[in-house]
A = this chain, B = another copy of it.
Amino acid sequence: MGTIENILIIGGGGMVGQKLAHALAREPLTPGTTSALTLMDLGFPPGSPAGARQITADVSDPAPLRAALAERPAVIFHFAAIVSGQAEADFDLGWAVNHMAFWHFLEAVRQEHLASGGSYCPRVVFTSSIAVFGGPYPEVIDDGFPPAPLTSYGAQKAACELMLADFSRKGFLDGIAIRLPTICVRPGKPNKAASGFFSGIIREPLNGQEAVLPVGTDVRHWHASPASAVGFLRHAARLDTAPLGQRRALNLPGVSCTVEEQIEALRAVAGNDVVALIKPQPDPVIESIVAGWPRNFAPERALALGFRADADFRAIIESYIREDLAPEQAQRLRLR
């Protein structure tokens, strides 16, 4: 019988958290171990992996968090966040959850570290975001480009990166912040992220529904599939952090493409009738938010550390069809 590896996923009820949990249940992080998964979130969809413990709690609530940490998980994934659009609309909530609750989380880990006499020092994988950057951008953003967020969400994530680095430098925990590309294609319902349409224009048409395109087709953006995100998270959890030095935040690889290239990839995979379901309907608010986002990266450090993204946007669409499209929809596409 193998060893048990305790893994805590804060924000484990969300889309990426659920995919990660299923992946860890299928294949443990450390070969020869069994993952004992604890998921913490405000709520959970049906279908969490069998054997995963679910703690329904607000990440801002200290008691359940402390209880989960008292079991000294070897690896903690932290995704809990108010998404960008909502953090921009609700200033208090965004700073309270994305910044203050993360501080209290780090402090709770530190208290466990101190209570252990210094032996407990978990890997903490924090999902940051390319929203830490603000324009004007160079054509391609390299690893030396300075964070200068232009949204509350971006400012909150950048502040969390600073805290995580300082707690790591002090040896209280072993943190790594990964700046995820926009996750695309997100399955399920649209969320409140201003980036939602990047998924919507692929997901809705593949499901036989119309999708609104609120920006021009020349808009370029930086994408990774949920499957790539799960791969990034697993890799970040096992990575030797020594080569990171004190620079614990990484720009991750992704696929840079325009909306037009997204649409053409969809056409190649699913045909003209599917593409015809995309309805251009410019929205100046979304256009203005998206205009402030990065478009392309040269993530040399992450590539050197072995992080790998999707091959191209077509691979991203195929990943969605394989992982998330309902069988009857996939069937309908094959019959066209």
Contact = CB atoms under 8 A, between A and B. Distances in A.
Interface string A153-168: 0010011001101100
Contacts of A144: 146
A128 to B, nearest CB: 13
A152 B166 contact: yes
Chain copies in complex: 2
Contact of A155 (B99, B100, B134, B166): B166
Interface in A224-258: 246-247
A282 interface: no
A146 B145 contact: yes
B149 A162 contact: yes
Interface residues of A, number: 25
Contact of A246 (B95, B148, B158, B246): B148
19 contacts: A91-B170, A95-B103, A99-B103, A134-B246, A144-B146, A145-B146, A146-B146, A146-B147, A148-B247, A149-B162, A149-B165, A150-B169, A150-B246, A155-B163, A155-B166, A158-B162, A159-B159, A159-B163, A162-B162
Given A100-B103, A152-B166, 11 more contacts: A95-B103, A134-B246, A146-B147, A147-B147, A148-B246, A150-B246, A152-B170, A155-B162, A155-B166, A159-B163, A162-B162
